[in-house]
Chains A and B, each alone.
Chain A
């Protein structure tokens, strides 16, 4: 669906930003509408996705992961095979082209683990634009490899020392920098969050995942899947794949949040599962917060899901019941991470491992020929150091 003229999906979304940014958001919305109506824009986007990103990504029938549970394979949408190793680049290609079309020479981005930062820096290098990435100081330390890659790609990385020094604070700082340089700067948001039109625009740039997956499934099996599963932090890979199936009422949509150590405690990142309605980073949605409206610190083993908010369209899909949101703990995600590597020869990102873990639970309840699609949103190379330091002897098991 399209949000209404004020950027709302039902009661979620909107544009809660300082006045200084309103003009820039209106300018962006106009430029986006023009670009979206221009076939030449989409031709260029599609050509880059094909030749530079490597699309279409395969819908791979994994045979062993569900063995003993289901006769059907688990269908993995292989976003991990994209250039830069995740779905993030679909969006940065789109926003980069839009920035170019608007005549902006400088792009800025926030990043948590560094995946969106790398995807933005990559597109910036390709399009010849100046890139500044804001990253929490503690993430800069934890993700030194991605910082190096961004530098290699010509981007400047600015450590953010305020607040919790993670993704939320990097996003705050990117908004502030945008406010200060709003005339020549384009802010490339990395998920379906932020003020209108970002949630809608980012979803449109990620929709290619769902459109491809649907036609690949139909072409190969002659029918639609029973279920589509994706992990949800801010929620861009999930909105991307859901968008291909949301008008197929028979296809159940599942968003898998990071429970962290469990939904009941303070160490979670499940905004829809454990949060309440509020406003963060420009839109009304669910977020993890205290009774006074102060945003909570979050925890997930996966940096990409470690965010207190979630895109407003997910809040809407939850409210209408069109999608169901569940949560998977750190331990369950790790188990799926190891299992997919050992059984399928695919090391998933820890984010995607949350979706993989839930697929197994769901398959237990499904008929054995039901097709389940999982969005394998990214590859796990970035997580190897973290997992290895926790489980140094895993290879011997």
Chain B
């Protein structure tokens, strides 16, 4: 259960640190090496992107990583095989991040069953908002796979309440309008009230993502949120390299961020 990820991090005095990695960028062997590195570094969970060519919620970094992964032939089945090695290799809980069309074509029930078999902890599909999610949510829950949902700064309080009620594992708090990516310097000042609103609505863990790219950002978010998701900046750090070289870059990028997630 993903809730335990956040509980354990809290017991260690920090926000859960959850890096995002695009599977198959530039190949699945590199992704496995990166997962080993992240596990050794002590990250709390890993979000893994299943590449899609038309990612509406993603900025240029993740979109380009997806193109590289697709070019290398990465598809859903291959990502699930990779994740399936997690138990024996000691990887932390893994959450898939992908889009509705690859899920729909794979088959919603088939994906739920295959994800469960591979030991996937959760599945995030950002273009499936609350109203369209019933079928996928039902299939995942039936297979004990969780489905975190997103709330955005533009989400009304009433809607956020319904989203929090339906989310399982955690609620993904999008920190700003727009898409993923390290871009202009983010303004986390509204985040405090956004988190406070969510706390009043739910006891579920709150993980913050979109635009969190530097150790200062992690330090700013850690006291507020239960978890922090960093994607584009990590991909910027290792993009263009492969294998152990990529894993080494990931290690040096992630270590200060992990420290930044400590609340003391």
B151 to chain A: closest residue by CB: A19
What is the bound-complex CA distance between A282 and B55, given in angstroms?
11
Chain B contacts of A347 at CB under 8 A?
Answer: none
Given A19-B150, A19-B151, check contact A292 B57 (CB 8 Å): no
B56 near A17: Cβ-Cβ < 8 Å:
yes
Contact bitstring A200-224, B, C-beta under 8 A = 1, else 0: 0000000000000000000000000
Chain B contacts of A14 at CB under 8 A?
Answer: 131-132
What is the bound-complex CA distance between A20 and B163, given in angstroms?
13
Question: How many residues in B have their beta carbons less than 8 Å from beta carbons of A?
Answer: 42
What is the bound-complex CA distance between A18 and B70, given in angstroms?
22
Chain B contacts of A182 at CB under 8 A?
Answer: 154, 177
A292 near B152: Cβ-Cβ < 8 Å:
no
Chain B contacts of A183 at CB under 8 A?
Answer: 154, 177
The distance from the CB of A385 to the nearest CB of chain B, in whole angstroms, is 30
A54 at the interface (CB under 8 A from B): no
Chain A contacts of B131 at CB under 8 A?
Answer: 6, 14-15
B97 at the interface (CB under 8 A from A): no
Chain-B contact segment, one of A168-176, A235-243, A310-318: A168-176
B54 near A19: Cβ-Cβ < 8 Å:
no
A164 to chain B: closest residue by CB: B53
A291 at the interface (CB under 8 A from B): yes
Q: How large is the interface on A (under 10, 10 to 19, 20 to 34, 35 or more residues)?
A: 35 or more
A289 at the interface (CB under 8 A from B): yes
The distance from the CB of A270 to the nearest CB of chain B, in whole angstroms, is 19
Given A23-B154, A182-B154, A182-B177, check contact A18 B105 (CB 8 Å): no
A246 at the interface (CB under 8 A from B): no
What is the bound-complex CA distance between A279 and B150, given in angstroms?
19
A179 at the interface (CB under 8 A from B): yes
B152 near A24: Cβ-Cβ < 8 Å:
no
Chain-A contact segment, one of B35-43, B58-66, B220-228, B236-244: B58-66
A24 near B57: Cβ-Cβ < 8 Å:
no
B57 to chain A: closest residue by CB: A18
The distance from the CB of B55 to the nearest CB of chain A, in whole angstroms, is 8
A172 to chain B: closest residue by CB: B54
Please name 15 further chain A to chain B contacts, defined as beta carbons within 8 Å, in addition to the given A163-B63, A179-B177, sorted by A numbering: A15-B132, A18-B152, A18-B179, A20-B153, A163-B53, A176-B56, A180-B179, A181-B178, A182-B154, A278-B105, A279-B104, A280-B101, A292-B76, A293-B52, A294-B101
Interface residues of B (CB under 8 A from A): 52-57, 59-60, 63-64, 67, 70, 75-76, 100-106, 126-132, 149-156, 159, 163, 174, 177-179
Interface residues of A (CB under 8 A from B): 6, 14-24, 162-163, 168-169, 172, 175-176, 179-183, 278-282, 289, 291-295
